[in-house]
Amino acid sequence: MDDAAVYKDKVYFGSNDGVVYALNINTGQQAWKFTTDNWVTSSPAVVNGRVYVGSFDSRLYCLNADTGEQIWKFTTSNSVATSPAVADDAVYFGSNDGYVYAVSIKTGWQKWKFKTDAAVTGSPVVADGVVYIGNRNGKMYAIDTATGKLKWRAIVGGPITAAPAVADGLLYFTSQDGKIYCARIKHQAVIWRYDVKAQIETAPLVHNGKVVFGDISGNVTALNAQNGSKAWVYNTGGSVFSSAAALGDRVYIGSNSDNLYALDINTGNPAWQLQLEGDIVATPAIAGDRLIVPTAAGSVCSVR
């Protein structure tokens, strides 16, 4: 079960049974479900009453957020495992067919597609008219959202399987080569990297001057966002596939130790930890005064 999205009074997520679910956020009761033809590992994007979600059946779906009714679907040539990003009048996503797509949110028609040299395994982030997305060959692409033309790219030593982050003119992204990279967008060049010597599957979180991420050795690491110097490391006792979420001075992150952690972003000290049923590989979703946390055991927990 992948990351959940919260919109108004519902929480949305996909599952390996091929179904997209919507639950009432207050009661946990199912509001609706929509069945695709294969696994759904893509995290939904919910914008202006519409749910955008990919499936291993090679399609991206646009659904009505209230009813789950299909509005349109777009078919690629291979599975869609990446989570979509919506900006202006388009939804952007990658496919294992090696292409990055821009599709009209109104019609479901293709605006452009960009060919990479491998399966697109990283999810996109859109900032200032550029979509940033990585692929299986360790390439991070910066693509013009209007034209679909390449602006620049960075090449690293391993597959990129998570979304990057953009903050203060800097692009942060992780790789399975065990490193996190920071590129200055203006100069189109990597300015620092940090090696944790363990595979990284999580997206970087930039918050309060820190960049935070986890790795499969069980560590959660926080670096100074400007220069990449180490701020703190906290070991969870289980591999970390969950990306972090933050609110105020706390970072929330899950682990394959079956625990959800609240860590002080300045020190890394745990404020609390909570054991749930099953590994926590999804990013906690912050919804007002609660966290929505899907687990690998197939449950969705609301934590206050």
The CATH number assigned to the domain holding 279 equals 2.40.128.630
* Residue 23 domain-assigned (yes or no): no
pLDDT at residue 288, as a whole number: 87
In a domain, 303, yes or no: yes
Report pLDDT digits (tens) over 244-295: 999 999 999 999 999 999 999 999 999 999 999 899 999 999 998 899 999 9
Let me know if residue 286 belongs to a domain. yes
pTM of the model: 0.97
**Three-class SS string for the chain?**
CCCCEEECCEEEEECCCCEEEEEECCCCCEEEEEECCCCCCCCCEEECCEEEEECCCCEEEEEECCCCCEEEEEECCCCCCCCCEEECCEEEEECCCCEEEEEECCCCCEEEEEECCCCCCCCCEEECCEEEEECCCCEEEEEECCCCCEEEEEECCCCCCCCCEEECCEEEEECCCCEEEEEECCCCEEEEEEECCCCCCCCCEEECCEEEEECCCCEEEEEECCCCCEEEEEECCCCCCCCCEEECCEEEEECCCCEEEEEECCCCCEEEEEECCCCCCCCCEEECCEEEEECCCCCEEEEC
Q: How many domains does the chain have?
A: 1
In a domain, 107, yes or no: no
Q: Could you tell me if residue 71 is inside a domain?
A: no
Residue 38 lies in a domain: no
Structural domain boundaries, residue 281: 209-304
Mean of pLDDT values over 294-303: 89
In a domain, residue 245? The reply is yes
Q: Average of pLDDT values for 77-82?
A: 96
